[in-house]
Amino acid sequence: MLDDFLARAVLGAVGVALAAAPLGVFVVWRRMAYFGDATAHAAILGVALALAFELPIFAGTLAVAVVVAFMVAKLTGRGFGADMILGVASHSALAIGLVAVAFAQGPRLDLQAYLFGDILAVGKADLAVIWGGAAAVFALIAWRWRALLMATVSEDLAWASGGNPDREGRILMLALAIVVAVAIKVVGALLIGALLIIPAAAARPFARTPEQMVLGAMGLGCLASLGGLWGAWEWDTPAGPSIVCAAAILFALSLIAKGGRGA
């Protein structure tokens, strides 16, 4: 089955959707959307460095995503306006990455594949990386689940109950870097943020507890992946953007459904 490129594409897309969901809800709850973008854009620089030093793409993107996430968090914690720092970081990371790729470029690099994803080229090794990354994100977030929730609800209450919300923030940054590194092949650096946020947003109207929202985001993310791939196959459209389009349609439907119930 894994010899069929379409089967690999489906498994890859579903794996990324599952990895993105438990982190995506935190990105939404903690208003880290811009933060997610900055980290994802930095991954292009990771691609360039990986090529220059002949490292696996996964290692390069993961390393750069971690460094940028922690650097931005440090700067925003120092009293700079968070929005301003993120704006600077997000666009600079992308621009520096694009310039660096131009320097590192060999004849084999298809930049578009890293900006928008190239899911039909997902190989068996990529699948291993995607599902391994998804498992790591799951394990991290499940392990810290209540502490992460507490820190998200109120940092002061977390401190008062003996927790350390700074540490929980670092765990989320690590999980974010992993998601970026596994998702870049599937949806590309520019649309990773969409995959984090839109399924979580679409699940919100139907959730009464945080756990329900994660499960909803997982389900809707998988649905968007399958729907997007089907659309890409049917109409010969780029797969990554098609998946995000499908997620956007699900979000619109969830808004309508919520409006209809008057909830």
Partner 1 sequence: MSRLRARRMTTLVEVKGLTVRVGDRPVLDNVNFAMQPREIVTVVGPNGSGKSTFLRSLIGAVKPSSGKITRKKGLRLGYVPQGLRLDPSLPMTVDRFLSLPSPVPAETRAAALEEAGAAGFANQQIASLSGGQLQRVLLARALLNAPQLLLLDEPTTGLDQPGQAAFYRKIEEVRDTLGCGVLMVSHELHVVMSASDRVICLNGHVCCEGHPEVVAQAEEYRALFGTGTKGALALYRHEHTHHHHHEGPCDAG
Residue from the set 16, 17, 23, 28 that interacts with partner 1 by CB under 8 A: 28
Q: First-to-last CA distance in the chain?
A: 44
3-state secondary structure of 208: coil
Half-sphere exposure of 2 (CA within 13 A, CB side): 8
Return the residues of window 165-224 that contact partner 1 according to CB under 8 A: 200-201, 204, 207-210, 212-213
CB 160 → partner 1: shortest distance, Å? 4
CB 151 → partner 1: shortest distance, Å? 8
CB 8 → partner 1: shortest distance, Å? 34
Residue 75 interacts with partner 1 (CB under 8 A): yes or no: no
Amino acid at 224: A
CB 71 → partner 1: shortest distance, Å? 20
Could you write out the three-class secondary structure of 210-239? Answer: HHHHHHHHHHHHHHHHHHHHHHHHHHCCCH
Residue 32 interacts with partner 1 (CB under 8 A): yes or no: no
Residue 261 interacts with partner 1 (CB under 8 A): yes or no: no
Residue 237 interacts with partner 1 (CB under 8 A): yes or no: no
Residue from the set 160, 252, 253, 257 that interacts with partner 1 by CB under 8 A: 160
CB 122 within 8 A of CB 15: no
Which DSSP state fits 31?
T
Residue 79 interacts with partner 1 (CB under 8 A): yes or no: yes
Buried b (16+ CB within 10 A) or exposed e, 36-47: bbbbbbbbbbbb
**What is the contact surface with partner 1 in residues (CB under 8 A)?**
28-31, 79, 146-147, 149-150, 152-163, 200-201, 204, 207-210, 212-213
